A and B are shown apart, each in its own frame.
Chain A
Amino acid sequence: MKRITIEPVSRIEGHGKITIQLDDKGHVAGTEFHVTQIRGFEKFTEGRPYYEMPGITARICGICPISHLLASSKACDAIMAVRIPPAARKLRELVHCAQIVQSHALSFFYLAAPDLLLGMDSDPATRNVMGVIAQHPELARDGIELRKFGLQVVEVLAHERVHPSWIVPGGVATPLGVQARDRMLSELQPAKAIAERTIKFFKGALDNYKEEISVFGSFPTMYAGLVDGKGNLRLYDGSLRFRSATGEIVEDQIAAEDYKQWIGEASLRESYLKAPFFKPQGFPGGVYRVGPLGRLNAADRCGTPAADAEFREFHERFGVVAHSAFLYHYARLVEIIYALERIEVLLNDPNILDTHVRATAGVNALEGVGMIEAPRGTLIHHYKVNEEGAITWANLIVATGHNNLAIGRSVQQVSEHYIDGTKLTEGMLNHVSAVVRAYDPCLSCSTHADGSPAMTIQLLDVEGELLDEVSN
């Protein structure tokens, strides 16, 4: 038996490690995907006043703090038992869509593009965002512009780009002014043009990735995502739907407060990341996937014209249920179009300027659950408080967690396909990392891997003797 370790997995958010067990003939005997850091938010927030939770839990992540602010604020809304003002609901969805745009742009242009454009086997020294800028300056510029647009909308609304304090229990802190609205509208069309250019380019290049599509986490699982009562894709609100691998709706309209009836959480020996599973099918059988691919598989349509056209084409190409994790990249681009269209709809809604944006109340319920679609999938914040409003118990299911089992299986599939014998190549190493990257996991949800990482795979024999080593 020999063991290969990939640590850290690069160009993802957070720190992860992969170990690959080889048998005596050099075939893959088993793989494990490890998340190597522990955060402890659920424990150290005990005793804090519930209304501090959005600010505290936002620090889980620097890429998508808006997701945690929203899920946490929704849980607080439930504890206060308030219905937030309609304008606040729209402003929250607006800032969320802007965050989806910037986060998806980060994943596609900064983290995935080096693999997709420069080649999985290309020189690791330049296989990073700087390499993309050198070889595909137009596309790199588009990526930077698109991310800038998303972040600027966040800044205009929330006054800060990262960790704003604008999203609060009961609504949002300040209303939207006419000038700010008009500024965002004026910058929307160039962003939409970039999104359309990029998806056209990606679709044109799909034939280059036939092998990846067939082996990158390409296996049947269930999918989950938020939808409205008509089956339209929803990001901020909506109820949870599970769709089976063959396309049937398994469960629909699951309210946030009922998540525990359907989602179990297993602890894994090899990882600090828990593995949520679909309860009726048990562990580890109840594998499902969330995130862009999960959402496009769970929903019947997007609900906006351009995104719907892309949604139909996506499913015409890959079936009612698309199973390859490689298609997360594709789904991410469809969702950028959807988010930009939603931004336009929301900004053109006259009610968005309403000045009543915050509901106030004390503790009216001792438990609250908030659920949204973060860029990487369904995010659940669940709090219990005492009558004074102090947190007594908290449970967070962070989006990447749902995909934990599927990422593990994808690593296994890619390893089996690309690794054989005892000689390692850097390209092999990168294929294994790239399938993890396809899920765009946010492992620590707050640290960032460097663009040109120090990644090492070691091949050890039974006695622990180093047979081979590759690093970049």
Chain B
Amino acid sequence: MAQKKLSIRIDGQLISAEEGQTILQAAKANGKYIPTLCALDGLTPVGACRVCLVEVSGVDRLFPACTTPIQDGMSVTTNSPRLTRYRRISVELLLIERNHVCAVCVSNGHCELQSMATAFGINTVEFAYNYPKLSLDTSHPRFVLDHNRCILCTRCVRVCAELEGAHVWDLTSRGIHARIVSEMNEKWGQATSCTSCGKCVQACPTGALAEKGWAVEEMVKNLGTVTTLVHRRGVEV
């Protein structure tokens, strides 16, 4: 059965979109760019990073485009000085929260957080760095988890649960104490449900999850493989 069509405006342009779509999906389908970090096409959106914030006419607060469903007659603004400022702050807060030292990172040059910061022209931050002392989990034979570089986007959690079906990853604690954990806070190497498929590594936007053995700048993620697999779900071959 065909989806009901809704009429919305994005940046003033009248767009016909399907009921149930998020603002982000409707925008993408119509060639409108909204920056994203935690969103990964095909996975359940969670609105973790706040980079995709948009303005909706008649409402003062901002909405994450990835989790907000469209409504008939909605008018969305994807770009404004206010949005630029809030998006920039969101990325800056990610940068100061943990220890993102691009120069010595395996993902330097191939990092979505770095690209986003560059796109926003962030070369200094207005908040003090937090410099937490965080651990690494090197126990997996092929992969490594570095909490210093994690932005809690939960792509790894979702890709493992929704695509691989293993649900190795989860979040523990709240706020600034939140951490990605494997199984019930076991060492990754001891996680019996992990199939070592590596989808979490490929989906990770930063160097937080990486393959072992790559030197600085060498960890190139293959996001395409993950999104291709996502779209093949339920497709009979």
Contact = CB atoms under 8 A, between A and B. Distances in A.
Given A49-B144, A163-B103, A55 B216 contact: yes
A56 interface: yes
Interface in B123-180: 135-136, 138-139, 141, 144
A349 interface: no
Given A388-B139, A389-B138, A51 B215 contact: yes
B104 A56 contact: yes
A57 to B, nearest CB: 9
B214 interface: yes
A91 to B, nearest CB: 15
Interface string B168-204: 0000000000000000000001000000000000000
B196 to A, nearest CB: 14
A189 interface: no
Given A388-B138, A388-B189, A51 B213 contact: yes
A55 B104 contact: yes
B19 interface: no
B221 to A, nearest CB: 16
The listed residue with most A CB atoms (<10 A of its CB), out of B103, B141, B213, B214, is B213
Contact of A54 (B108, B135, B144, B216): B216
A52 interface: yes
Contacts of B136: 47-49, 390
Contacts of A360: 213
Contacts of A163: 103
A362 interface: yes
A362 B216 contact: no
The listed residue with most A CB atoms (<10 A of its CB), out of B138, B144, B212, is B138
A181 interface: no
A49 B212 contact: yes
Contacts of B135: 47
- Per DSSP, chain B at the interface is loop
A173 B215 contact: yes
Contacts of B104: 52, 55-56, 59
Contacts of B213: 51, 169, 360, 362
B55 to A, nearest CB: 41
A168 interface: yes
B215 A169 contact: yes
A253 interface: no
B71 to A, nearest CB: 48
B218 A49 contact: no
B217 interface: yes
A164 to B, nearest CB: 9
A224 to B, nearest CB: 30
Contacts of B208: none
- Per DSSP, chain A at the interface is loop
The listed residue with most B CB atoms (<10 A of its CB), out of A49, A168, A389, is A49
A56 B215 CA distance: 10
Given A47-B135, A59-B103, A389-B138, A52 B212 contact: no
A168 B138 contact: no
Contacts of A447: none
Contacts of A362: 141, 212-213
Nearest to A45: B104
Given A49-B136, A55-B104, A56-B104, A168 B212 contact: no
Nearest to A73: B215
Interface string A49-72: 101101110010000000000000
B113 interface: no
Nearest to A159: B217
Interface in B77-112: 103-104, 106, 108
A165 interface: yes
Given A59-B104, A390-B138, A52 B215 contact: yes
A276 B103 CA distance: 30
Interface in A182-216: none
Interface in A390-445: 390
A55 B215 contact: yes
B64 to A, nearest CB: 34
B139 A168 contact: no
Contact of A168 (B103, B108, B141, B218): B218
A251 B31 CA distance: 72
A173 B106 CA distance: 13
The listed residue with most A CB atoms (<10 A of its CB), out of B214, B215, B216, is B215
Contacts of B144: 49
Contacts of A390: 136, 138
Nearest to A385: B138
A165 B216 contact: yes
Given A49-B144, A163-B103, A173 B139 contact: no
Nearest to A363: B212
A389 B189 CA distance: 13
B213 to A, nearest CB: 6
Contacts of A47: 135-136
The listed residue with most A CB atoms (<10 A of its CB), out of B106, B189, B216, is B216
Contacts of A54: 215-216
Contacts of B139: 388
Nearest to A80: B213
Contacts of A388: 138-139, 189
A51 B217 contact: no
A388 B212 CA distance: 10
Nearest to B214: A51
Interface of A: 47-49, 51-52, 54-56, 59, 163, 165, 168-169, 173, 360, 362, 386, 388-390
Interface of B: 103-104, 106, 108, 135-136, 138-139, 141, 144, 189, 212-218
9 closest A-B pairs by beta carbon, nearest first, are: A55-B216, A388-B138, A168-B215, A165-B217, A165-B216, A390-B138, A56-B104, A55-B104, A51-B213
Given A54-B215, A163-B103, A169-B215, 8 more contacts: A52-B106, A56-B216, A165-B215, A168-B215, A168-B218, A169-B213, A173-B218, A389-B212
26 contacts: A47-B135, A48-B136, A49-B136, A49-B144, A49-B212, A51-B212, A51-B213, A52-B104, A52-B106, A54-B216, A55-B216, A55-B217, A56-B104, A59-B103, A59-B104, A165-B215, A165-B216, A168-B215, A168-B218, A169-B213, A173-B218, A360-B213, A386-B138, A389-B138, A390-B136, A390-B138
